[in-house]
Amino acid sequence: MAPSNTTNVSVNLVGGMLFVATAERSRGTVVLDSDPGHGGVGGGMMPMEALLASLGSCTAMDAISILRKKRQRVTGMQVQVHGQRAEEYPRRYTHITLEFVVRGIGVDPAAVQRSIELSQTKYCGATASLNAEITYTFRVEEEGEDA
């Protein structure tokens, strides 16, 4: 049995370059594929896209949890993640920007900023695992305003 601080994911080839990743604990799955130029058919996220999705969702989950503890009336949250990659292989991300849009009723912008800051500096393991400059912006939209 693996130690409790170990995460296990199984990645299985379906065909071509299409893989299905399954987490041992949650049983959640992610479909991954390559682009057609590299043998894929576009049947799932590319691995580097999944990396950005993981970062965005990790930070969003931290932020929404903190905002709920602060009793902020958040009705929606969206995070756009933009990654800039190096030209040379392994073409790692060098800079990533997270753009948060938080919708709600009377949501305090200072509480939003603090929740994102805490995620980025203390709680988000995805942020801590990446060797990239990560920055963020945010805006708060009052419920009922046009998006």
Given pLDDT bands bounded at 50, 70 and 90, which one contains residue 47? very high
Helix (H, G, I), strand (E, B) or coil at 86: coil
> Are residues 96 and 58 in contact, defined by beta-carbon separation less than 8 angstroms?
no
* pLDDT > 80? residue 3: no
pLDDT per residue as tens digits for the range 123-142 = 999 999 999 999 999 999 99
Contact 77, 115 (CB under 8 A): no
Rounded Cα–Cα distance for residues 60 and 102 (Å): 10
Of 23, 97, 108, 43, nearest to 73 (Cα)? 108
* pLDDT band for position 76 (cuts 50, 70, 90): very high
pLDDT of amino acid 146: 55
As a whole-number percent, the residues of the chain with pLDDT over 70 amount to 96
Instruction: Give the tens place of pLDDT for each residue, 10-40.
Output: 999 999 999 999 999 999 999 999 998 899 9
pTM: 0.91
Instruction: Give the Cα separation of 51 and 83 in Å (integer).
Output: 10
